[in-house]
Amino acid sequence: QVQLVESGGGSVQAGGTLRLSCASSGFTYRSQCMGWFRQAPEKEREGVAGIGSDGSTIYADSVKGRFTISRDNAKNTLYLQMNSLKPEDTALYYCAAAQALWGCRRSLERTTYNYWGQGTQVTVSS
């Protein structure tokens, strides 16, 4: 059974940095694509960053140049480095994953992923 556990959220001032982590376990196929999503109160969950099984990445326009997604396959951990944080980045951040036998493409679409973590809160004050 796939499990995803996020950590690293917190409260920071605008301009600050945070690094989120997502520890994963239980994959049975060798190819995984993973992503970070966020959901602010009364808003829909949106894709922030995604990484394919080939290591290619994709970002939402709102975070390009500020956020970086990466993965350490040896540690089974996904990261999201968030720099120059803004109050509008405040949200509950979720880690998501999908697995495939022959490769999995980077994606910001919720329908790509079928495994989700519980979320970690990020609050940015002005």
Tens of pLDDT, residues 49-67? 999 999 999 999 999 999 9
How deeply is 53 buried, as exposed, middle or buried, from its count of CB atoms within 10 A (0-12, 13-18, 19+)? buried
Residue owning tokens 């609050």: 123
pLDDT over 90 (residue 99): yes
Q: What is the pLDDT confidence band of residue 30, given thresholds at 50, 70 and 90?
A: confident
Q: What is the pLDDT confidence band of residue 4, given thresholds at 50, 70 and 90?
A: very high
pLDDT, residue 55, reads 95
C-alpha to C-alpha distances, 116 to 14, 59, 72, nearest whole angstrom? 28, 18, 18
| Tens-place pLDDT, residues 7-20 | 999 999 999 999 99
Give the pairing type, strands 57-59 and 46-51: antiparallel
DSSP H or E stretch at residue 97? strand 91-100
pLDDT, residue 54, reads 94
CA distance 98 to 28: 11
